[in-house]
Structure 1
Amino acid sequence: MVRSAPQRGTGHEGGRNDASVPSEDRSKAGARVALAEGARLAFRRLTTRFFLALRVKVVILLGLAALIMLAASGLLVFHVYDSEAGERMHTRAVIVTDMLASAIGTSDGDADLRDLVSRMAEQSHVDAVAIIDEGGRVIAASKDEGDGFSASPISGRDLRQFLAEGAAALRPVETAGPGLAAFLRRVSLPGGEAAAVFIRLDQAALVESLKAKAWNVLVWLTGAIIVGMVTVSLLMQRIVVGPIEALRNFAERRELMPDLPSSGPADEIAIVASALANSFKATSASESRLASLAHTDGLTGLGNWSFLKSRLAEEIAEAARTGETIAVMILNLDKFKDINDTLGHDSGDAILQRTADILRGCQKPGDIVARLGADEFGVVIRGAMSSDEAVEYANRFIRAVGVPFRIGAQEIHQTACVGLTLYPQDARDPDVLLKNADLALSRAKFEGSGACVLYRHELHLRVMERNSIERDLRAALAQKQFVLYYQPKVDITSGRISGAEALIRWQHPERGLIAPDLFVPVAERCGFIGDLTRWVLEEACRQNRAWQDAGLPKVGIAVNVSAVDLRRPDLSDMVANTLVRHAISPQYLELEVTESMVMRDVDVVIGTLRRLRSLGVGIGIDDFGTGYSSLAYLKRFPVKRLKIDRSFVRDIADTRDGKIIPKVIIDLAHSLGLNVLAEGVENVAQLEILRALGCDEAQGYFLGRPMPAAEFEVFLRHSPNGLHPVEELRDVMTIAASKGSPRRQGVPGSAA
């Protein structure tokens, strides 16, 4: 039974498509195709470059000229020798016919004529001789018709006409045949009758000899042309092509210009070479100057960031070979912007130049110093044996920069901080080392003036966490991941709930509850703090409105605002619109700012706080005592409440000296007509001492931890007449109040 062949490449059952080809075969086929394509492209590039070369062009041009000269010479030679062959045939015919004409006049009868014709036929190159009368009869012939002679082509009217003309000149006969030349001449027979002498010469033998001579001459001409062309080619290579190729190599590689042959001082190639060399020298000098400028700081003369990075890479390569340790240091001048703002940029430039001179003076041989930015300098320290040695070396720079000096009449005490990292302990890449040093510098700035921080891996983890928080913050507001916790404020004397502080928390879907200390600084840095503040205000007012509508005791809610918020010109408008939107009286809203915030851009902050206070909103200064506020500024601030920082409350019951600062703050606030709240109260001893010192309110875990809105609502519901729901705490405060503890008069404790 015959089985039909399966179809190939159709994809039907029994057929074979591309997928059935083994992958190894396909890869081999693809490799062969790629190899063939690569070879073809390489051959094309090679041939293209070969045929575009000037040397090849000159050779081709000279070769074409040689071929043209050879062709012209051959044509001329063969033309000359062909003309010479005709002239020789004619001369031979004249000689033979002259001899015949002279001999015919003295001949005696036909026998003598035949004998004469036979002797003439024996001459060289003579093929046949005949005498023909005017009737066309052959009187004598060296050949008969059987030997290839016939008189019929020259008989008849043409012969009679030729004889009748009476001319004695030779006339060629065109019917001589191939390789033969025939002529006619009129002669007179002894009887006076006219006759014609017919002579046929063998032209082939003569032509062959002349051709041999012509070829010989042509060979000599060819040799002479070749020798001439080779000589011209060598001269062209020496005088033109070689110098031009040298110019090309010089233009491509900018190597040293070789000595070029020239016919004189005005040689064009020499002039071009000189101009090109001068141009390259000028360009090289400009490039070197630009490279130097690109790697040099114009103010201090030190290298810049790119210079330090490239040199650091070289030092790392050398240290990898020798096994040395390298320290990378970044030094930052503290508060340099303030110097520019107060003393002017000229003074700032002078400080930068002084710092550069100090760093040059402190560096060891082999160290690298560069200016990285406006107020940052980088130092690469070679041969640092340990981290302690590197830190000590960095402290030398800090101490040298910190020596007091004068600019005009102003004495300057410049300080600096340093970030430090080590190779190979911390990293082996220049970019990573510089990044690590910058991270360490950020930590040093946080620790304060004169700090030197050595890079630790925890700094990198902290930055990664900060970046992760910044990334997730973008979605947190849209996805409503923030919640507010409320911590109660309690009047120490009466035990009444005087208010609550709204504390934001981030309910992260993966990391759980995140405290504000982690994400609020990140929000300030990346510009999200305004949105957070707006959300906190909205949520706090909305929740307070809901509690008041539910009949709960009316309490004020304190909301923290950032320094960025205080500098916003529309903060008061945003607060007013929020209060109106939720129908909240301004007396139930308080904005808390830290002491350090209000000392930045004091005039702007005072204007913002006064506009808020004019709305009826309370202003409180948080963490009082930890900043640098002046009493004169404090008197100008429209503040309602001071909050004693928890660091002063923590030690208030441990030592006798712990009461001094809280007592001073309380007396100062009361003398200015301000209310005082102590935060961080953790036990009854602290509470009693604060009451004894005259503090008005307290806040802390002892009185109530931060609670979600629902839990704080329960807390308020269990507060009888607004008093603290925990009876023991309420009894402690009321019993102490009945004993007559000091209390400032006229300061309300319920309004927040």
Structure 2
Amino acid sequence: MLFAGLYSDGRYIGQLALVNCSKARAWDEKERGELAEVAGLIASEAKTLEALDDANRRAEYYRDVDPLTGLFTYNMFKELAQKALDQGVARRVLVASDIKGFKYINSAIGYTQGDNILRMFADMVVQSSGPEVINARANGDVFVTLGVYEDRADFQEKLLLSNENFARLQNQIYDGINIRVRSGVYFLDPDCREIDLAVDRANLARKSVDYILKSTVVLYKDAPFSIKLRENEMINRMEYALMHGEFQVYYQPKIYLKDGSVAGAEALVRWVREDGRVIPPDEFIPLFEKNGFITKIDLFVLGSVCRWLKEREERGEPLFKISVNLSGADVRDDQLVSYIAEQVEAFGISPEYLEFELTETAFLSDTEQIFSVLKRLQDMGFTTSIDDFGSGYSIMNMVAEIPTDIIKMDCAFVQNCGKTDRGREFLGQLVLLVRKMGFVALCEGIETQDHLNMVKKMGCELGQGYYFSRPVPRPEFEEWLKKQRFHPGEICDMIEVNHRGKQEG
């Protein structure tokens, strides 16, 4: 057996053996030299293979890890983050951050110092991250983080503090440059299951920092770009939502304050998507008022109310007045009263059980048309009311002439005026004035026993608010009604009495 050592850069890596299995023999110098030459070739090849293997390992490592910062690459981030979202999105948050004007900073202080800033920024991202966090350098100076949160406000405050501290430190180190960190935050919605969508929304918020100068942190829901995006999503879905039952009617009671009995209820629309996500009314109602879809929604609510009243009548259950909201866009439609009459007649509902509410702000334009619609509704036997009275646009100069029956004081009166003696005096005089003018006074926003005691003392006839019940779906409202007392004619009786007083005065 003949042996030859294998060496790479003077380092022993193995040996080569030549064996004659037929018989023992002696090896001459020529054979020894040839074996050594073969061993050298093998060692050289092994060195090449070792270098190649090392290069492959490095390439594989840097495929997943950014060589400058040590954070994950964006592709690796997406892979890991998507797996995390597949397990659930509850309390997940996506943050996208960058350094504003970083190209200018590179030019001003050089790329070497710019790289140092990026490394320190990456360290800050890691140090400010909580548990179960995936960090990555997406590209250039943009970093993304998928994490979890306990409290949204606390998370936002800590992120803002980290950004400010980093900027302050860098501006002290590098004189003459102004470093500002921008962060966009997206608290994941239940229906957001794609990491690409989450990153897009966080980036939209990040780019909005320049438009919202008060902070270096912007939430996706507050970003101008995201508002437009959400509006487009709602517009694209509104017809489908109406056809597939996503719009639901909730009910909130109106209480006769004299004895706490149920005097009526207000029907309110809510948008509950098929996936369970609730879209707040203050998002979709203003949008639908602008594009005209609100009329379809209001007529849908009216139809739902009429159907329920008919069902109660057929079951022999007590009926009471239910109010339906009308928007300014509704009353500008010349066919509105005809649409209402058709729906009510189709279900055979007496007009005495229906009330139509119009917000004070609707009187901003086309007052003559609004007066005409309200008068026609009254002539047909319906009750009319002015909602959110005193919320902003004052109609005090025309209120005496408005063909309405009930004035609903905006909830801000109860919740704010009740805090001071002067405020209580103002609200009390307003209630007195409304009643003297022949209208029924209703105070919204009653949430506490003190609120209730205050408005009762002022002589307010009707009340509405969370103290009695929040707006709830019909099944829940029906259960609530089973425990209540009814005075179905009370509102009508009050209207008649007040109107007689108005005529006599």
TM-score bracket for this pair, using the shorter chain length: 0.5 to 0.7
1:572 lines up with 2:323 in the alignment: no
Aligned counterparts of 1:644 and 1:496: Cα–Cα separation in 2: 20
Counterpart of 2:93? none
Counterpart of 2:281? 516
Aligned counterparts of 1:563 and 1:438: Cα–Cα separation in 2: 35
| 1:744, distance to aligned residue in structure 2 (A) | 11
Q: 1:439 to 1:610 in 2, by over 3 A?
A: farther
Aligned counterparts of 1:586 and 1:616: Cα–Cα separation in 2: 5
Counterpart of 1:465? 230
| 1:712, distance to aligned residue in structure 2 (A) | 2.1
| 1:592, distance to aligned residue in structure 2 (A) | 1.0
Aligned counterparts of 1:707 and 1:717: Cα–Cα separation in 2: 14
| 1:535, distance to aligned residue in structure 2 (A) | 0.5
Greater C-alpha radius of gyration: 1
Q: 1:437 to 1:554 in 2, by over 3 A?
A: same
1:703 lines up with 2:454 in the alignment: no
Matched position secondary structure for 1:535? helix
1:642 lines up with 2:377 in the alignment: no
2:439 maps to a residue whose letter is L
| 1:545, distance to aligned residue in structure 2 (A) | 1.6
| 1:480, distance to aligned residue in structure 2 (A) | 1.4
Aligned Cα root-mean-square deviation (Å)? 3.5
| 1:686, distance to aligned residue in structure 2 (A) | 1.2
Counterpart of 1:202? none
Contact 2:182 2:209 in 1 (8 A): no
User: Of the candidates 349, 361, 364, which is equivalent to residue 599 of structure 1?
Assistant: 364
Counterpart of 1:563? 328
Aligned counterparts of 2:309 and 2:495: Cα–Cα separation in 1: 29
Contact 1:489 1:500 in 2 (8 A): yes
Counterpart of 2:458? 693
Aligned counterparts of 1:602 and 1:454: Cα–Cα separation in 2: 45
| 1:318, distance to aligned residue in structure 2 (A) | 10
| 1:654, distance to aligned residue in structure 2 (A) | 3.1
Alignment of 1:177-216 (within 5 A): none
Counterpart of 1:271? none
| 1:696, distance to aligned residue in structure 2 (A) | 0.5
Counterpart of 2:397? 632
| 1:423, distance to aligned residue in structure 2 (A) | 11
Question: Which whole-Å deviations, capped at 9, do the CAs of 1:155-193 have from their partners, x for residues lacking one?
Answer: xxxxxxxxxxxxxxxxxxxxxxxxxxxxxxxxxxxxxxx
User: Of the candidates 673, 677, 689, which is equivalent to residue 438 of structure 2?
Assistant: 673
Matched position secondary structure for 1:560? strand
| 1:490, distance to aligned residue in structure 2 (A) | 0.7
2:336 maps to a residue whose letter is L
1:611 lines up with 2:380 in the alignment: no
Q: 1:531 to 1:674 in 2, by over 3 A?
A: same
The higher relative CO (CA closer than 8 Å, separation ≥ 6) is in: 2
Contact 2:337 2:377 in 1 (8 A): yes
2:420 maps to a residue whose letter is T
Aligned counterparts of 1:635 and 1:540: Cα–Cα separation in 2: 30
Aligned counterparts of 1:628 and 1:613: Cα–Cα separation in 2: 24
State TM-score, norm by structure 1: 0.37
Contact 1:716 1:722 in 2 (8 A): no
Counterpart of 2:449? 684
| 1:426, distance to aligned residue in structure 2 (A) | 8.9
1:487 lines up with 2:238 in the alignment: no
Aligned counterparts of 1:694 and 1:564: Cα–Cα separation in 2: 34
| 1:323, distance to aligned residue in structure 2 (A) | 6.3
| 1:569, distance to aligned residue in structure 2 (A) | 0.9
Contact 2:183 2:216 in 1 (8 A): no
Counterpart of 1:500? 265
Counterpart of 1:622? 387
Aligned counterparts of 2:385 and 2:346: Cα–Cα separation in 1: 23
Q: 1:317 to 1:653 in 2, by over 3 A?
A: closer
Aligned counterparts of 1:503 and 1:497: Cα–Cα separation in 2: 17
Aligned counterparts of 2:183 and 2:369: Cα–Cα separation in 1: 45
Aligned counterparts of 2:497 and 2:384: Cα–Cα separation in 1: 18
Aligned residues: 304
1:538 lines up with 2:294 in the alignment: no
Question: Which whole-Å deviations, capped at 9, do the CAs of 1:220-248 have from their partners, x for residues lacking one?
Answer: xxxxxxxxxxxxxxxxxxxxxxxxxxxxx
Q: 1:685 to 1:607 in 2, by over 3 A?
A: same
Aligned counterparts of 2:459 and 2:418: Cα–Cα separation in 1: 15
Counterpart of 1:552? 317
Counterpart of 2:349? 584
Aligned counterparts of 1:520 and 1:721: Cα–Cα separation in 2: 31
Contact 1:681 1:701 in 2 (8 A): yes
Matched position secondary structure for 2:264? strand
User: Of the candidates 741, 746, 752, which is equivalent to residue 497 of structure 2?
Assistant: 746
1:489 maps to a residue whose letter is K
Matched position secondary structure for 2:237? helix
Q: 1:623 to 1:455 in 2, by over 3 A?
A: farther
1:577 maps to a residue whose letter is E
Q: 1:693 to 1:721 in 2, by over 3 A?
A: closer
Task: Indicate the larger mover: 467-476 or 567-576.
Answer: 467-476
Alignment of 1:330-341 (within 5 A): none
Identity %, equivalent residues: 29
Alignment of 1:653-668 (within 5 A): 653-668=418-433
Contact 1:490 1:697 in 2 (8 A): yes
Contact 1:553 1:716 in 2 (8 A): no
Question: Which whole-Å deviations, capped at 9, do the CAs of 1:370-393 have from their partners, x for residues lacking one?
Answer: xxxxxxxxxxxxxxxxx9xxxxxx
Aligned counterparts of 1:439 and 1:550: Cα–Cα separation in 2: 60
Gaps of 5+ in 1: 1-315, 325-386, 388-421, 445-451, 724-742
Q: 1:719 to 1:426 in 2, by over 3 A?
A: closer
Aligned counterparts of 2:255 and 2:469: Cα–Cα separation in 1: 9
Q: 1:651 to 1:632 in 2, by over 3 A?
A: closer
Q: 1:453 to 1:571 in 2, by over 3 A?
A: farther
Matched position secondary structure for 1:626? coil
Question: Which whole-Å deviations, capped at 9, do the CAs of 1:633-661 have from their partners, x for residues lacking one?
Answer: 21221011111111111135432123133
Matched position secondary structure for 1:541? helix
Aligned counterparts of 1:463 and 1:706: Cα–Cα separation in 2: 28
Question: Which whole-Å deviations, capped at 9, do the CAs of 1:507-561 have from their partners, x for residues lacking one?
Answer: 2112433332222122223332121111111111111121222222221111111
Contact 2:323 2:354 in 1 (8 A): yes
Contact 1:623 1:643 in 2 (8 A): yes
Aligned counterparts of 1:439 and 1:547: Cα–Cα separation in 2: 56
Alignment of 1:243-262 (within 5 A): none
Matched position secondary structure for 2:497? coil
Q: 1:609 to 1:576 in 2, by over 3 A?
A: same
Matched position secondary structure for 1:632? coil
